[in-house]
Structure 1
Amino acid sequence: MNASMLSYILFSCLLLSVQAEYCGVREIIRYTQRLLDDSSMSCPCRQTATSSCSCLPIPEHGHELACFVDGTKHLMENSTSPNPVITRLYLTFQALLDRSLCKRLAHGDQCQYEAKGNVKEFLEKIMTTYQEIDKFNA
């Protein structure tokens, strides 16, 4: 085995280990804060079909990522006008789940939740989850 092949193998291993720990923490916190600052995101949760406010899953511990995918997908699909921040969050959560990139969050395929809450409560759960990861990484 020559030196260039060994360098390539070592670089590939390093890249895979870095990817396994990628959680998109700062990006997710920034986007979530932007949505929390939007006052239209704070209406109460009503589960009736006539309500424009969504009831979103507040995940059980260990099911956060799957619930974040489900919740942001619901927001994206039920929005009256496209919101690029919600779309970006959804795509990020989906990629993290599909590729098992964030080892700090469990990767159950199914969303299991404690309760349902309004959009603001859902976003606050995302924020606290990722702030805990950020604090752990500091």
Structure 2
Amino acid sequence: MNASMLSYILFSCLLLSVQAEYCGEREIIRYTQHLLGDSSLSCPCKQTAISSCSCLPIPEPGHELACFVDGTKHLMENSKSSQREITRLYRTFQGQLDRKLCNKLPHSDQCQYKTKGNVEEFLKKIQTTYQEIKKFNP
């Protein structure tokens, strides 16, 4: 193995380790704060077909990322406002799950939850989860 090949391998390993750390917590917190400013999101969660309020999974520990993907996908498909921020959140969560980024969160493929909440409760769960990550990763 020559020196250029060795340096390429070392650079690749460094790049992968940096990517695994990427959580995008600043952007995610900013998007959730913007979305939480929308007062229409606080309507009560009703699990009926005629309700215009969404009921979203409040994840069990270890299943946050999968539930964030599922919940933001539901919002993307059913919400009429703040589409840009919701789409960015969805793509960020899906990318973290697919590429195994943000090693601060478990990468379970299944969303497991015991309760559902309205959009506001769901966004607050996202926000507190990423605030915790940010606290330990200044």
The TM-score by the shorter chain falls in which range? over 0.9
Alignment of 1:87-106 (within 5 A): 87-106=87-106
Contact 2:56 2:71 in 1 (8 A): yes
Q: State the Cα distance separating 1:81 from its structure 2 match.
A: 5.3
Gaps of 5+ in 2: none
Gaps of 5+ in 1: none
Contact 2:60 2:113 in 1 (8 A): yes
CA distance in 1, matches of 2:109, 2:46: 26
Contact 2:32 2:123 in 1 (8 A): yes
Residue in 1 that maps onto 2:76: 76
Residue in 2 that maps onto 1:132: 132
Q: State the Cα distance separating 1:57 from its structure 2 match.
A: 0.3
TM-score (ref. length: structure 2): 0.94
TM-score (ref. length: structure 1): 0.94
CA distance in 2, matches of 1:29, 1:73: 18
Contact 2:35 2:82 in 1 (8 A): no
Residue in 2 that maps onto 1:62: 62
SS of 1:137 mapped into structure 2? coil
Moved over 4 A (4+): none
Aligned residues: 138
Instruction: Provide the identity percentage.
Output: 80
CA distance in 1, matches of 2:81, 2:17: 39
CA distance in 2, matches of 1:64, 1:70: 10
> Which range moved further: 20-29 or 73-82?
73-82
> Which range moved further: 7-16 or 86-95?
7-16
Q: State the Cα distance separating 1:45 from its structure 2 match.
A: 0.6
What RMSD, in angstroms, separates the aligned Cα atoms of the two structures? 1.2
